[in-house]
Amino acid sequence: MRLRIQHLVFAVLMGVSLSGSIACSSPTLRDVEVAEDFAFETNQPLEIRISRSNLAEDIGIGSIEGVELARMDGHIIYRGPLPKNRPLVVNLGAPSQDKSVRVKYMSESDQVERLIEIKNNIAEGIIQ
């Protein structure tokens, strides 16, 4: 008897909750209108170029031992040496909202941070 009452209460409650959800109509994705010029991309291709040309003198530290590239949220993209005879080039996908890259130049005794603005999917830190 007790089991039948539990089943009956359960059935009544399910009926009430189902009838409430059936009566409510919500929009579906078919009802959503998207503008023709809307871009669904959330990432952008990004090329970062850093050159050693006159860099140590321009940023005011001694011999540059390494460089760290990071997104503005702190996510490190690259940490390592800066090539002596060619630019460092890093290609990656970055969030579309990123408008600059943080560059940390490191010497044996000091470090200097700079922001490089992203323009046309390129962040260029070549100082000549």
Would you list the domain boundaries of the chain? 44-125
- pLDDT, position 12: 61
How far is CA 92 from each of CA 26, 30, 69, rounded to the nearest angstrom?
Answer: 40, 34, 12
pLDDT tens-digit map of 7-64: 666 666 665 545 444 555 677 888 888 888 777 778 888 888 887 664 555 565 557 7
Contact 82, 52 (CB under 8 A): yes
Report which of 69, 73, 64 is spatially closest to residue 109, judged by C-alpha positions.
64
Contact 88, 50 (CB under 8 A): yes
pLDDT tens-digit map of 73-126: 899 989 998 887 888 888 888 888 888 889 888 887 888 888 888 888 777 764
Report which of 59, 112, 52, 122 is spatially closest to residue 82, judged by C-alpha positions.
52
Under 8 Å CB-to-CB from 82, ≥6 apart: which residues? 50, 52, 55, 64, 66, 67, 88, 105
Pick the CATH number of 44-125 from 2.60.40, 3.40.1440, 3.90.1200, 2.40.30: 2.60.40
- pLDDT, position 112: 83
Is the pTM of the predicted complex or chain greater than 0.75? no
- pLDDT, position 127: 39
